Amino acid sequence: MQSPIDPATAEEAVMLAMVSLGRRMRHRAPGDQIDLSAWPVLKTLVHNGPMRLSTLAAELGLDASTVSRHVRQLEGRGLLQRTDDPDDGRASRVAVSEHGSACLEEGAQARRAVIAAVLDQWDDQDRDQLRVLLARFYNDLNAPQHSLENS
């Protein structure tokens, strides 16, 4: 077992936790059908609904060719589907398919179980405090003034 850490700063603690959590989340669970690289595409579409490729690329902060490649792969595996764009008959939108939603939820459940196994040792007050602080951190991190482009 690894020795406990005692980071000198909150920034160091956040970075260590994120690296460790990221490493754990990348592990494929038995039956996992979604690669980690596909999660941002699928989660963005789940939260925002069907989107044009150009809009999806902008939302993810990626170039259109990279997103197009991801979308083709995900479509080929039945995780995404194309729909007509109601605003422009020449264009299409991509959306998460029923199969994609089911696979995403299965993967999320497996990853939540990893986190739950750690948090099961914490009392309710500590768990709630972590929830509140992480939500605050997430919201502040995603505020426009904290983007890397503004650094």
The pair of three-digit structure tokens given for residue 98, joined into one six-digit string: 């029923």
d(CA 74, CA 66): 12
Smallest CA-to-CA distance from 68 within 49, 55, 84 is with 55
Is domain 22-143 classified as CATH 1.10.10.10? yes
d(CA 150, CA 111): 32
In contact, 95 and 83? CB cutoff 8 Å: yes
Residue ranges per domain, the chain?
22-143
Residues listed for the chain: 151
pTM tops 0.75, yes or no: no
Residue-wise pLDDT tens digits, 19-59? 998 888 877 777 777 887 888 999 999 999 999 999 999 99
